[in-house]
Amino acid sequence: MPIRKSEKYTYLKTDPCITQAKFDELTKKLDRLINVNRPREAAEVQRLAMMGDFSENVGYQVAKGRLRGINQRILDITDLLKKAEIIRPDKNDDSVQIGNLVTLEHDGREKIYQILGSEETNPTAGIISHNSPLGAAMLGKRTGDTFEIQLADRIITYKIIKIS
């Protein structure tokens, strides 16, 4: 069966690797959605439904859309929390793994990266996914190891300076 352009990213699996802080943040967000946002939006839908004709009641249609969005977000967060794998790097291991801070050297410059799950990436802050080309290439390497990453037009060589 052909896949439409709009469906291209619809069925991607979520990355279950998250930190305890992100797990706690999502738990609080889910609680707020269930106990505050959804009841408030449901009351608004009910209020607007009393205004009569649903087909021409724009406010009602918009409120129903917002309520559907809240319900979908609740389902998404619940699913993510059920499948969550809390990142706990092994402190005794001297190889790169998810959760580590890694200092890399490239062209005489040092840069620190933290390797986390896809839910928490922020490349400008140095937080990269273990699924990214750089993150995947680092996994399992040790201090002093060098590795290369193939970009579209060149190959970049990195050296691991420190793992913490």
pLDDT tens digits for range 100-158: 999 999 989 999 999 999 989 999 999 999 999 999 999 999 999 999 999 888 899 99
- Domain 101-163 matching CATH 3.40.470.10: the answer reads no
pLDDT exceeds cutoff 60 at 1: no
pLDDT exceeds cutoff 90 at 77: yes
CA–CA–CA angle 32, 36, 41 (5° rounding): 125
Which helix (H) or strand (E) segment holds residue 107: the answer is none
Question: Rounded to an integer, what distance in angstroms lies between the CA atom of residue 55 and that of residue 34?
Answer: 28
Question: Rounded to an integer, what distance in angstroms lies between the CA atom of residue 102 and that of residue 85?
Answer: 21
Q: Which pLDDT value is given to residue 153?
A: 87
Beta strand ranges found along the chain (DSSP E): 17-18, 85-86, 101-106, 109-116, 127-129, 146-150, 155-163
Question: Rounded to an integer, what distance in angstroms lies between the CA atom of residue 32 and that of residue 103?
Answer: 38
Q: Which pLDDT value is given to residue 10?
A: 58
Residue bearing the bigger pLDDT, 9 or 147: 147
Task: Provide the pLDDT confidence category of residue 44 given band limits of 50, 70 and 90.
Answer: very high
- Taking CA atoms, 40 is separated from 25, 44, 47, in Å, by 21, 6, 11
Residue bearing the bigger pLDDT, 6 or 154: 154
Q: Which pLDDT value is given to residue 151?
A: 82
Q: Where are the domains of the chain?
A: 12-86, 101-163
Q: Which pLDDT value is given to residue 7?
A: 59
Question: Rounded to an integer, what distance in angstroms lies between the CA atom of residue 44 and that of residue 59?
Answer: 9
Calculate mean pLDDT across residues 67-76.
Answer: 96
Which CATH fold topology does 12-86 show?
Helix Hairpins (1.10.287)
pLDDT exceeds cutoff 60 at 8: no
12-86 shares its CATH topology with 101-163: no
Token pair 């420190």: residue? 162
Residue 19 near residue 130, CB atoms below 8 Å = no
Instruction: Show the tokens assigned to 162.
Output: 């420190």
Q: Which pLDDT value is given to residue 51?
A: 81
